[in-house]
Structure 1
């Protein structure tokens, strides 16, 4: 039986706290400056200088502003790097608003499908509660953007620029989720009333029309055809006419997205290494690419990222950016804050324990653009963020190798870098299906 806290217990705690002289010094610092500033370790900043043995030239960083589109920005940035190199473009960006529109629209349809599928379950079931908690949001995963691009293509930012709602998505998300929850109750009602599939589908189409109208009003109508003009770094003028989003992707990017694989490091007992995993009810495009993760040990994980960087290609990656990171100096390192010393409390957990307990999961996606190798072993990594150039070193962060081990969960690499054994696992495509709330289903 749990015992109550007694006044004597509290008095003893207070007496012990005051008895330790250093507690008073730390208390004054924390009360004046806050926990993080008082715990910041300057030695970590010195160790993690922004100098790397492999350093790709990727240009100016982008800015997702007040939206949760980091996964989208990170993916489009990897494409932008290729375009900038192949076509000698400077400070070029792809339209994040274009992919944002189609992601929102497809997520609505995906949500309706899951609502209909679970309509006979009690409203209190965990699956239904999971769906209704967040019908849609800005976040996503690599394979979800692949599904969008394979269906809708891609366009330059100049063709479909940002709007208020794409850069400040809170109002749009609030309204869309209000609409989707109402529609969910209506769809459940139709199923409960025994309506035929055709009638339910007709109702769903009407709901999707409303969603389209909301998105078109807030984000604009995605272009079907457009012209593209630019001057390259040598000031040569190029004018390309009558492109479609698909033909633009084929001509200017031309990457076969099926040749890439999502690789994760999830050292929990329920996910043996060298196996494929997917997550139930996670996706956006119905009939599109399914989310698929290859789980490997951290040494393999890092070597795959290094191999792609050595080949001159940046790496999309997902991590828990809020853990032991400084926004101003742009340092991500396990020793950048000394919380254990500040409070004389042990906060340490293993990576598996953090995942299993909900203490950590993927919250943000960025791009690996460099690594510092000493005796062919990584010591720190260069990271392109999407928070503008006012943070870190002109928007770039430094990630210590220890931080990579503890708080990075996902990278996307070309299949050619996999070992023959891992290629065989991917080719077999035998996936274990995880619960919707599994930490590997977190959206960056």
Structure 2
């Protein structure tokens, strides 16, 4: 335990260095903006930020992406509660009680419950993350070839969960990803595979190019098909956050605990993430909650359950990422890419070779939650004003960032064409 605390103290020392803390604050703000803006998703925002980490040291790079991941699970609640517009699929359950509470003239209370839920779920999960990570890594160190094969097989099979109701789509995505990974020069025999005499393909298809194309450009194509929409803003200047009283919090303590536990457990499952946590936690509250018959009428439990689970899933998803190199969500898959781009392979060995980086990431979760909640309390009414930006302009900006990010990867125009190709594939 002393070793964990001393390592965490080193992590906090890294986070509170002026440059790293500034990067964290920027990451929190970017994550909040991405979650609020129509046409952008959490994973898409992290993907767009990934190219900017190329020129960074590894610690600020990981801090930036982790901060965006944390705040991206929270800010979409603002638009769900105030305007009945979910910023992410994560926030859909908040429509059922959060918006109903706002319609009754209690928007400030709804925002307060959301803020407290995000804080509680995030902090509980962060503590569990710190306590479990090193023991899990020690167990993973005892793994031999059969165990690694089982983990690899589990990681690949978990892709099926990302396909939703379509097993065919999930399997197509899985095998397409494996096929893309074979492009380039074979490490063992030095033979060229699927390079088609294109020199840049000898180095393989960059992970960043695939992510930016599929998640970034593909989402823009989808928005183009659906038609760009704008959100009407009314009485934004009157928006404020009112935290609940202590006795109200104590009356809902079991909902907080259930939501936190659900988020952590679901976060541990590769491919599940915050959206599954949010919906599942709301469903569990509907089965076991003290006021389950009143769900959907605008009660605090209907806000606490999904928001606590969504934020708690961050800590849960980070555990398999750093201990076994298996991302627990779409966002942690991008963070895994950032580790690899900086020459680090997450897994049990990283706690022996680069523990300061991992614990800086852990510390950034704690600090990021505090910064996120502080901004959420004081600046909600200013942050939601970004909804006034036309979605078509936002999408044009996203396309520009996709092109710049692709070119910055290897300074080659071929990557830009590859991004366009994967953008079309992501849309299809």
TM-score, length-scaled by structure 2: 0.23
Highest RCO, 1 vs 2 (Cα 8 Å, sep ≥ 6): 2
In the superposition, the TM-score normalised over structure 1's length comes to 0.23
Between Structure 1 and Structure 2, the one with more strand by share is: 1
Decide which structure has greater helix share: 2
For the pair shown, which has the larger CA radius of gyration, 1 or 2? 1
